[in-house]
Structure 1
């Protein structure tokens, strides 16, 4: 299975970068970006797995299998 960077991975990287910047007291003038997967997480949390998978595929462009696995891994 090949590595496919997803919005989920990017969100984790951004959170880590935010912590590093905070530690170094670096200020970013850009407003914080909302979680691009917030609605997917909410759908998964409410047990609407099929809708969550569909929304994930629309955001990332990945295939059905990859989207299903990603939704199953989401921290809901």
Structure 2
């Protein structure tokens, strides 16, 4: 007979599986993907440009939205591109 602790662990595992399935459903329903290395300061427009356009356009969008020099924008966008695997 399993101990109380083992029963609690089994219930928690079932709950995690159910929650993961719910999150997966929501991602599909909303047509979004989870990006583990995304940071709070990452500009969604820049990420979209990296996914669907060119690096140059992403840098232009970054500069328009955040300012800074061309070199700073290029470094920031390339860092984002590496982190997110784009």
TM-score by structure 2 length? 0.44
TM-score by structure 1 length? 0.49
**Greater C-alpha Rg:** 2
